[in-house]
Amino acid sequence: MKFFILLYGISIGVLTTLLLPEKTKEESIEAGAEIYQDFCVQCHLPNGMGVSGVFPPLQNSDFLRNNIDLSIAGLKYGLSGKIIVNEEEYNGVMANQGLENEEIADVMNYILNTWGNSYSGQITTEQVELISEKNLLPK
Amino acid sequence: MKQLLTILSLAFITTIGCAQDNPPFIETPETQSYSYKIVADGIDIPWGLAFITPEDFLVTEKSGTLYRVVNGIKTTVEGLPPIYTRGQGGLLDVALHPDFSNNNIIYITLSTDVEEDGLGGNTALYCAKLTDTSLEDLKLLYKATPNTNKGQHWGSRIVFDQEGHLYFSIGDRGNRDENPQDINRDGGKIYRLNLDGSIPEDNPHVGINGAKTAVYSYGHRNPQALVMHPETGVLWETEHGPRGGDEINIIQKGKNYGWPTITYGINYSGTPITDKKEMEGMEQPFYYWIPSIGPSGMAFSTSGIYPEWKGNLFAGSLAFQYLERLVIENNKVVKREKVLDQIGRLRNVVQGPDGYLYVGVEGKGILKIIPNS
């Protein structure tokens, strides 16, 4: 009996850690909005439209939609070189912003669910942790 | 009718919401009287640039590398203090001591989280002795407090006057409501120190209880260019405004430059910050940019290497990716022109010891501007 109680306890613990991220999606988006205002808005602008040819758009961006892991890696390690976004070429430098993994998850959730963007899943801190510099290579 | 009214009032709001471009309007010349040569390549964000000789110079890369470039070959300089890279922060400016040829001392500004004053970081000024490609006798001369995890507005540039002073800038650190207008707090300030890091006795707030006595001027948002005017010897500054309202200021001791109480800019979202553009006791900018060019780095061309540009002011544009040439007559900007249009985010401009203009361009490196013969 004791064994079962212990097993039950451990299972609940493990499941909680694995299945429940520290924030709900809504909470993460809310925290991400604040990060966006501090770190992203100067270039990508409040409407996520960026500046044509200079700062790529985040609103309705085919590049972002098709390269979620690469985008996370870009936030984690910085991104430079040529990319094509909505048929327009960008060849700039986005510096590594020094964000914590949790902050990257939050700002990704904000970006992926604002200005008409929608993403069915949720980017978690654990997912960001698993992204490495290898993910910087486009598919 | 109701719909018409809504449309009309929306149109009205839109019209007053978009501030008018501030003249003189930027011009793009039809012919180019110059070319350029890359003198140091493969530097993502070349922030600071300091010449030892025209063929031997130091470049900072924002993410935390100091390069010594000799005849185009870059070597990493060892011995930097820990750097807190966050948002706009990182390794910022580098400058040579006025007597560098005898003492080999350099100054650097950077973002750091040293000192136990809370989570996050703030801007610091260090000096060190440069031997070949390593730093020795590293000394922390100033560290702004408190730390904050905000990513915005660290400044920073370093310049010297002829009287043995060093000036450097720190932005408002994303706390415009508390920092820039309070002389008891760091941030949103231009600072003045003696070359050994001590505080000059005639600094404006010396003797005021609680004041940051290193402060020379205040009410700044994010100053990323400082230069001494070659004729008047007066300190000139540019700073980033919010949306619109980037400024050129002529810095005077103890003066208040108004941010955020007065500004020609608005919030990124389009909402107003204040309805005030001027106020008693606050300085007006020498010039303000609407729309914002994102000014970083500034230099006067005095050498005569570019005869038509002699005496002109040059400012880097991060937002529009060109070098701006400003012609000043009778204390007024009378002409603005694009140089190196679409070259990339222009982070810095310096007149080298050989009189040529050198620019730092993101993703490219250091470029030398060469006039057509």
CATH of the domain at A52: 1.10.760.10
Count how many domains chain A has.
Answer: 1
pLDDT above 50: residue A6: yes
Residue A60: give the domain boundaries: 2-136
Closest residue, chain A, to B270 (C-alpha): A46
Helix/strand/coil for A68: helix
8 A C-beta contact, residue B37 and residue B368 = yes
The contact set of A with B (CB < 8 A) is: 37-39, 41-42, 45-46, 51, 54, 78, 80, 91-93, 95-99
Give B113-150 pLDDT, tens digit per residue. Answer: 986 678 899 999 999 999 999 999 999 999 999 999 99
How much is the pLDDT for B326? Answer: 98
How much is the pLDDT for B12? Answer: 46
Residues belonging to chain A? 139
Return the sign of the alpha-carbon dihedral for residues B128, B134, B137, B141: positive
8 A C-beta contact, residue B115 and residue B145 = yes
Average pLDDT over residues B173-177: 97
**B153 annotated active-site:** yes
Task: Give helix then strand counts, H and E, for chain A.
Answer: 7, 2
Give B66-81 pLDDT, tens digit per residue. Answer: 999 999 999 999 999 9
Give B295-354 pLDDT, tens digit per residue. Answer: 999 999 999 999 999 999 999 999 999 999 999 999 999 999 999 999 999 999 999 999
Query: From the candidates B153, B165, B205, B220, which is the catalytic residue?
Result: B153
Rounded to whole angstroms, how far apart are CA atoms A70 and B70?
36
Map chain B to HEC letters: CHHHHHHHHHHHHHHHHCCCCCCCCEECCCCCCEEEEEEEECCCCEEEEEEEECCEEEEEECCCEEEEEECCEEEECECCCCCCCCCCCCEEEEEECCCHHHHCEEEEEEEECCCCCCCCEEEEEEEEEEECCEEEEEEEEEECCCCECCCCCCCCCEEECCCCEEEEEECCCCCCCCCCCCCCCCCCEEEEEECCCCCCCCCCCCCCCCCCCCEEEECCCCEEEEEECCCCCCEEEEECCCECCEEEEEECCCCECCCCCCCCCECCCCCCCCCCCCCCCCCCCCEEECCCCCEEEEEECCCCCCHHHCCCEEEEECCCCEEEEEEEECCEEEEEEEECCCCCCEEEEEECCCCCEEEEECCCEEEEEEECC
Q: Please name the residues in contact with B95: beta carbons below 8 A apart, sequence gap of 6 or more.
A: B48, B50, B106, B107, B108, B158, B159, B160, B166
Instruction: Report the relative pairing of strands B189-194 and B215-218 from DSSP bridges.
Output: antiparallel
8 A C-beta contact, residue B236 and residue B250 = yes
Q: Contact A95/B90, CB-based, under 8 Å?
A: yes
Helix/strand/coil for A90: strand
The contact set of B with A (CB < 8 A) is: 44-45, 62-63, 84-87, 89-90, 150-152, 174, 268-270, 319-321, 344-345, 362-363
pLDDT classification of A10: cutoffs 50, 70, 90: low
Residues in chain A closer than 8 A to B45 (CB atoms): 93, 95
Least confident piece of the model among A9-23, B27-41, B198-212: A9-23
Out of B85, B151, B363, the one facing A38 most closely (by C-beta) is B151
Q: Contact B363/A95, CB-based, under 8 Å?
A: no
Beta bridge partners of B298: B315
Q: How many CB atoms lie within 10 A of CB B68?
A: 18
pLDDT classification of A15: cutoffs 50, 70, 90: low
Average pLDDT over residues B194-217: 98
pLDDT above 50: residue B16: no
pLDDT above 80: residue B261: yes
pLDDT above 70: residue A33: yes
Average pLDDT over residues A65-93: 94
State the angle between helix axes of A68-77 and A101-112 in degrees (0 to 180), rounded to the nearest 10: 140
Q: For residue A2, which phi and psi values (nearest 5 degrees)?
A: -55, -40
Domains located in chain B, CATH noted: 31-41+112-122+145-371 (2.120.10.30)
* pTM for the whole structure: 0.90
